[in-house]
């Protein structure tokens, strides 16, 4: 039963189109952030990102949105996915075998989380976002899609959503 289910999921994922991957990854990250926010609020009484300084207050709203949705995702994708992928591949060559994917995804997500050190809860939440980004990157490379730009797109959509949500409060 479980093997049949996992085979169906694997088949479904492998047949996925790039736009489906983008949408599912974006929605998964939003749900993961909401879940983390509720978890930390209810269990530890910590609001994710509450200790953040208002770093988005520099510049006009349009320049901030441009940086959040385009510039930052390009740089962070280059650093956390592309560069980490190349470094791990060169360091370990073929020594990791089938474990390469897991080592890469966890290491990339770890670095992504550490680059968002606003508070402990925020680091944990961004770790899971980084896990999604690294999975998308390696899956898109496997499918021979434009892995870098797909991650930039998802990351940019997520940052734009966070930026726009500031005005909805």
What is the average pLDDT value for the chain, to the nearest integer? 86
Tokens for 97, please give them.
């075998």
Tell me whether residue 51 is in a domain.
no
CB-facing half-sphere around the CA of 108: CA atoms within 13 A: 31
What gap in Å lies between CA 90 and CA 87, rounded to an integer?
5
What gap in Å lies between CA 7 and CA 87, rounded to an integer?
32
pLDDT-derived band at 93 (thresholds 50, 70, 90) equals: confident
Tell me whether residue 54 is in a domain.
no
Contact 143/22 with Cβ under 8 angstroms? Answer: no
Higher-confidence position of 109 and 54: 109
Of 73, 64, 72, 70, the C-alpha closest to 167 is 64
DSSP 40: I
pTM of the model: 0.86
pLDDT digits (tens, 9 = 90+) for 8-47: 877 888 888 999 999 999 999 999 888 988 988 888 887 8
Domains held by the chain: number = 1
Tell me whether residue 126 is in a domain.
yes
- Give the dihedral sign, CA 116/117/118/122: positive
Tell me whether residue 110 is in a domain.
yes
Contact 70/153 with Cβ under 8 angstroms? Answer: no
Q: Spell out the residues 6+ positions from residue 155 whose beta carbon is closer than 8 angstroms to its own.
A: 72, 73, 76, 77, 133
What gap in Å lies between CA 75 and CA 72, rounded to an integer?
5
Tell me whether residue 52 is in a domain.
no
Tell me whether residue 74 is in a domain.
yes
Structural domain that includes position 68: 2-46+59-165
Tell me whether residue 108 is in a domain.
yes
Across 74-86, b (16+ Cβ under 10 Å) vs e yields eebbeebbbebbe
Tell me whether residue 152 is in a domain.
yes
């Amino acid at each position: 039963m479980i093997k049949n289910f996992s085979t169906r999921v694997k088949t479904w994922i492998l047949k996925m189109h790039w736009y489906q991957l983008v949408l599912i990854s974006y929605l998964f990250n939003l749900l993961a952030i909401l879940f983390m926010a509720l978890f930390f609020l209810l269990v530890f009484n910590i609001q994710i990102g509450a200790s953040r300084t208002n770093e988005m207050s520099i510049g006009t709203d349009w320049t901030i949105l441009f940086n959040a949705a385009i510039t930052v995702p390009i740089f962070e994708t280059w650093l956390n996915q592309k560069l980490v992928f190349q470094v791990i591949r060169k360091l370990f060559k073929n020594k990791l075998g089938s474990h390469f994917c897991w080592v890469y995804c966890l290491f990339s997500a770890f670095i992504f989380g550490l680059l968002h050190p606003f508070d402990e809860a925020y680091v944990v939440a961004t770790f899971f976002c980084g896990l999604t980004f690294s999975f998308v990157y390696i899956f898109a490379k496997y499918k021979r899609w434009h892995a870098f730009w797909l991650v930039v797109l998802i990351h940019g959509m997520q940052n734009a959503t966070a930026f726009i949500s500031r005005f909805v409060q």
